[in-house]
Structure 1
Amino acid sequence: MAPRILVVDDNPELLSLLVQLLEDEGYEVSGVGRGAQAVEKARGQPPAAAVLDLLLPDMMGFQVADALRKQQPQLPLIFITGVFKGGKHAVDARQKYAPADYFEKPFDAARLLEAVRRAVPYTKPAPAPAPEAAPAGGDAFEDVDLDIDVEEEGTQDTLELTGRVKVTGGNLTAEIRGANLTAAPLVPSGPAALVRPPPPPGGRPAQPRPAPVAPPSSRRGELRDNLPALITAFYLSRETGELGLQRGKVKKVVYFERGMPVFALSNLLADRFGSFLVRVGKIKPEQLEDAAAVAAASQRRTGDVLVERGLLKDTERMYYVGQQVKAIIYSLFAWEDGTWVMSFKEKAAAESIKLDAHPANLIVRGVKKLYKPERLRGMIQPEDRLIPSVAPAYQLEDVDLERWETELLPRVDGHRTVAELLALANRPEPVVQGFLVALMSLGMLERQG
């Protein structure tokens, strides 16, 4: 039987990520978000090791460690913290508890996994062969094919994109500056321009497929204003993997490398590269239609044909791919429902062009631009009092703030209500609410009490 690892963290998304990380290595995992739950769980199901966040809502992680050691004096402990940082805290913890390791957020999840392996050695059994096909009628995220275009129900949101984009390609990192872009809703002009070209007779050249293996376990959940927390979970753990999101038939995937969002794909018709160029006014619908037809006939990418015809410079492609990836990620902030699934893969490593953007700024801009006023009013009340978080997920220097925001932030100290902050800011209510909710989404502000 696989060893059981107890994981305790009050961040549900990070907890899900850590639980899945250990389950993928074959461990049995108990994940809880409260200290009292952890002690009770350990009493009924003694763990082989415990991974403890030091700041919990009901008790300190050190108190949980004391309680666990009373039950199991030799229990290996691994501490993670976002607040007790610096050499002194690690030294004190090592002197009292002799923990297997001590990590400060953001931390390297791969190193944490190595620490668990050292404390509790275990070899994962070889996986069983995967079934040939999924059962019919399933509603799994993987059932939606990214290679099939769908149209979004309802009205698309207009996206305002800053003209600056930072991307990497091969060994090159470039910050490209252009005029601000407006990605307008896609207006169909003809079926040939909007439908993915069918494969030529005889099909496309067959791609080699790896031998079938059992898919790794994955964590799933409902999307309810927790997209920032899901992105932050990858950032805090420096994980490489995928965050898939689905609403109806629309599926989008954000790819991470070491905690940073670097690429995104979508099966939404309006998110395709050619369609995106039409939405931002780079090319005309009829030009895309013609290029798509040539690409289908010659089994090439539409972007290659656009470059060949002089409609898109090769040097511009990197810029517009970066903007397209940003647009796909930003559009997800408009989703108020749906489902999410996270998995650990390294598909993004194969991408030749990657976005180079800090997740804190993506979250701030996504919240401020895509959260509608009524949504913001439901998340923050006039009588609320906000205070700086004790253990913020990000640092202030990670975020690009406007001048009025830097002037208002020191006044968010718990002494003033949100209504009073609105009056002090002298800005439209949704603008100020968006700023405050964005910093709450980053874990930099929290409600008093």
Structure 2
Amino acid sequence: MAAPRILVVDDNPELLSLLTQLFEDAGYEVVGASRGKQAIEVAKAHPPGAAVLDILLPDMMGYPLADALRKDNPQLPLLFITGVFKGGKHALEARQKYQAAGYFEKPFEAQKLLEAVTKVLAPEKKAPPAGSLQDAFEVELDIDVEEEGPQDVMELTGRIKVTGGGNITAEIRGANLTASPMQKVPATQVRPPTPGRPPDQPPPGSGAPGSRRGELKDNLPSLLTAYYLSRETGELGIQKGKVKKVVYFEKGMPVFALSNLLADRFGQFLVRVGKIKPEQLQDASAVAAQTNRRTGDVLVERGLLKDTERLYYVGQQVKAVIYSLFAWDEATYVMSFREKASAESIKLDVHPGNLIVRGIKKLYKPERLRRLLQPEDRLIPAVAPSYQFNEVELERWEAELLPKIDGIRTVAELLAFANRPEHVVYGFLVAMMSLGILEKRS
């Protein structure tokens, strides 16, 4: 018996991909579309048993799309999602005119959307796929990989918010940090592969059970946003050669990260920010290996790191791992869903919108910014932004520049208004585009 089919329509490709995986994991066949006309054609070729429709699409509104779908299937159950038409009035209209089975405002809980779909169209009961989510993407922490090519200096603000046990949130303020490139270390500090372990393989193509894969390119902001808009808990694994990094999400918020890169190790991070010296780390690492303890414990024991400082530096280390991903474009990503983040005792407390803005400003090179945005381009405020202005921290000059972005002035003219270095202004504008707050005028 074939799995029940649902149509999912959204013009955000990463969110569409995430929702597709969510429904497929639950036992549905999913047909997706990013445009209204495309959705109509897909529905005629593959009639769905239910439809999840974004209300604001590039070529038509979700309501005319709903009318077109209902012509061929008058009883088709409909669920609407929206980032613009919010409030009880819009939901009431959708239920009265279309008997909508659900109306979800972005950001929404994807699991509640799934529950609403199952009420109108029961999924196919199926056994868990062979090769569970636990195998979707793992960072092998018994191997330390050295990054090829030059490393970037990373500036980190001294303020950090973390959540510990019992949902206690602490904001710690310290001096701004500079994470310098890692110095060369003796090969003895690079742990060898576990005997008998197969060699690393690059992530396979899409279609693996329980995960969604693709090429990273410039999609990192959109991937972070997809988790945020769907309030999903899961993991985003990214691989570049032998280097693997994974970001853990809890209800849409990035809370932790791991890496098999030697420069990202806690001890090496302390060296890079100048907290300890390389020889102190090497000595502490040797003792830790001999006594089967954590290097951090040995550093605390020796008075090189206060126990109260460890939480602060772990939070900064996690933040640095996530930021570093913004420098990558030629890499492969894997999206998967599991509750692993819930088990972490220390969680970063940072809004993804601010994370995206800072990551782009810190690590997008001028040539990359110019590839994404040209001097002759004209920008306008987006109709359906993924984030609101009040969710993002802006500098004064940025807030003063935004009202001048009207679709008439070119990027070159905005650059003159801002009176800031070119790469700084470009970084801000590209960041606002990545948040869906601004878009190019067609």
Fold conserved between structures, TM > 0.5: yes
Distance 2:213 2:331 in 1: 11
The answer (yes or no) to whether the contact 2:15–2:223 under 8 Å persists in 1 is: yes
Q: Per-residue CA shift, 1:293-320, capped at 9, x if unaligned? A: 1111222211111112111111111100
Q: Per-residue CA shift, 1:346-370, capped at 9, x if unaligned? A: 1111111110000011100000110
The residue aligned with 1:152 is: 147
The residue aligned with 2:190 is: 195
Shift of 1:433: 0.5
The residue aligned with 2:87 is: 86
Q: Is 2:69 the partner of 1:68?
A: yes
Distance 1:428 1:380 in 2: 15
Greater alpha carbon shift after TM alignment, 291-300 vs 433-442? 291-300
Q: Per-residue CA shift, 1:177-227, capped at 9, x if unaligned? A: 0000000000024334x323888x9xxxxxxxxxxxxx8421111111110
SS in 2 for 1:394: coil
Distance 2:392 2:386 in 1: 12
Aligned residues between the structures: 426
Q: Is 2:227 the partner of 1:234?
A: yes
The residue aligned with 1:184 is: 180
Change (3 A) 1:90 1:251: same
The answer (yes or no) to whether the contact 1:146–1:251 under 8 Å persists in 2 is: no
The residue aligned with 2:108 is: 107
Q: Per-residue CA shift, 1:159-179, capped at 9, x if unaligned? A: 000000000110221000000
Return the letter of the residue paired with 1:339. T
Distance 1:93 1:434 in 2: 39
Change (3 A) 1:130 1:252: closer
The residue aligned with 1:170 is: 165
Distance 2:333 2:217 in 1: 10
Change (3 A) 1:68 1:433: same
What pairs with 1:386-397 in structure 2 (closer than 5 Å)?
386-397=379-390
Distance 1:315 1:216 in 2: 42
Shift of 1:32: 1.3
TM-score (norm 1): 0.92
SS in 2 for 1:333: helix
Shift of 1:415: 2.1
The residue aligned with 1:253 is: 246
The residue aligned with 1:38 is: 39
Shift of 1:448: 1.1
SS in 1 for 2:107: coil
Distance 2:142 2:368 in 1: 32
The residue aligned with 1:302 is: 295
Change (3 A) 1:422 1:259: same
TM-score (norm 2): 0.93
Shift of 1:130: 4.4
What pairs with 1:330-341 in structure 2 (closer than 5 Å)?
330-341=323-334
Distance 2:129 2:402 in 1: 54
Return the letter of the residue paired with 2:281. L
Distance 2:97 2:73 in 1: 15
Q: Per-residue CA shift, 1:43-83, capped at 9, x if unaligned? A: 11111110100111111111111111111111111100011
The residue aligned with 2:262 is: 269
The residue aligned with 1:327 is: 320
SS in 1 for 2:31: strand
What pairs with 1:375-414 in structure 2 (closer than 5 Å)?
375-414=368-407
Q: Per-residue CA shift, 1:265-314, capped at 9, x if unaligned? A: 01111001111011001111111111111111222211111112111111
Shift of 1:144: 6.4
SS in 2 for 1:124: coil
Q: Per-residue CA shift, 1:230-252, capped at 9, x if unaligned? A: 00000000000000111111111
Change (3 A) 1:124 1:147: farther
SS in 1 for 2:258: strand
The residue aligned with 1:58 is: 59
The residue aligned with 2:123 is: 122
Q: Per-residue CA shift, 1:75-95, capped at 9, x if unaligned? A: 111100011111111111111
Identity of aligned residues (%): 74
The answer (yes or no) to whether the contact 2:253–2:350 under 8 Å persists in 1 is: yes
SS in 1 for 2:327: coil
Q: Is 2:286 the partner of 1:293?
A: yes
The answer (yes or no) to whether the contact 1:385–1:447 under 8 Å persists in 2 is: yes
The residue aligned with 1:415 is: 408
The answer (yes or no) to whether the contact 1:144–1:249 under 8 Å persists in 2 is: no
Change (3 A) 1:395 1:130: closer
Distance 2:144 2:161 in 1: 28
Distance 1:300 1:75 in 2: 60
The residue aligned with 2:204 is: none
The answer (yes or no) to whether the contact 2:240–2:332 under 8 Å persists in 1 is: yes
The answer (yes or no) to whether the contact 1:197–1:292 under 8 Å persists in 2 is: no
Shift of 1:106: 0.5
Return the letter of the residue paired with 1:381. Q
The answer (yes or no) to whether the contact 2:270–2:276 under 8 Å persists in 1 is: yes
Q: Per-residue CA shift, 1:94-128, capped at 9, x if unaligned? A: 11101110000011111001011111122522236
The answer (yes or no) to whether the contact 1:198–1:296 under 8 Å persists in 2 is: no
The residue aligned with 1:22 is: 23
The answer (yes or no) to whether the contact 2:145–2:262 under 8 Å persists in 1 is: yes
Greater alpha carbon shift after TM alignment, 72-81 vs 299-308? 299-308
Return the letter of the residue paired with 1:255. Y
Return the letter of the residue paired with 1:47. P
Q: Which runs of 5+ in 1 are unaligned?
A: 135-140, 202-214
